[in-house]
Amino acid sequence: MLGALRLLLILKPLAYGVALVCGLILTLSGFGPGLLGERLQGFLLMAHMGSVPPFLLSVAFLSVTCAKQHDLRERMTLGSLCFWLLLGLTVPLTLTILLSMFPLTGTEGLNALLGLHESIALVFVVAAVLYVLLRVRSKATAQDESQKG
Ligand code: HEM
């Protein structure tokens, strides 16, 4: 039991780190080309796709290990709302690309799927920044209180 707890204490910050770094790579590689009037292709597309598996794995791990502390029935906080929104958005964020890989829709449908991926990605990034800021603030407040205490 103690071993599992120790493992969790190591894996959780590691998963947060991986999610943060991959999220940053996905955001810069996703929105960067568009800001320069270009499309996501070549090395940046490889960086984007290469970040997806560790990103989704760390999000899945955090969704299981952090669900309890973000239980909205116990406490409804903005941070917890962001947590569940991020988890919820990860599904359509991935599905839009998976569906675009099948010849189900014509070019118009493909562009619509990519447009949807980009819009969901924008909401995801805003919610992620808010979640990280709130986590940092709550950690700083907890630290202050423990020092005063
Ligand atoms: C935080 C997460 C993510 C962000 C911020 C993000 C952002 C973006 C943006 C802005 C684009 C459009 C680029 C363009 O049109 O030039 C894009 C394209 C793409 N994204 Fe993501 N994305 C994320 C997660 C994912 C995931 C989870 C997958 C895979 C399952 C994925 C796969 C792709 C692919 C394949 C493209 C290129 C589509 C194409 O132009 O053919 N992205 N992403």
Which positions ≥6 away from 66 have C-beta within 8 Å? 12, 83
Coil, helix or strand for 146? helix
Distance, CA 20 to ligand 1 centroid (Å)?
16
> Is residue 93 in contact with ligand 1, taking CB distance under 6 Å?
yes
Specify whether the CB–CB gap between 83 and 66 falls below 8 A. yes
How remote is the CA of residue 139 from the centroid of ligand 1, in Å? 31
Closest ligand 1 atom to Cα of 110? 41
117 in ligand 1 pocket by Cβ < 6 Å? yes
Q: Which residues of the chain have pLDDT under 70?
A: 1-2, 149
What pLDDT score was predicted for residue 140?
84
Nearest CA to ligand 1 atom 21: 30
Please state the atom number of ligand 1 nearest to the C-alpha of residue 39.
16
| Residue among 63, 25, 61, 57 nearest 44 (CA) | 25
Residue 107: per-residue pLDDT: 84
From CA 17, how far away is CA 11, in angstroms rounded? 10
pLDDT for res 73: 87
pTM of the model: 0.90
| CA of residue 29 to ligand 1 center, whole Å | 8
| Whole-number pLDDT of residue 39 | 82
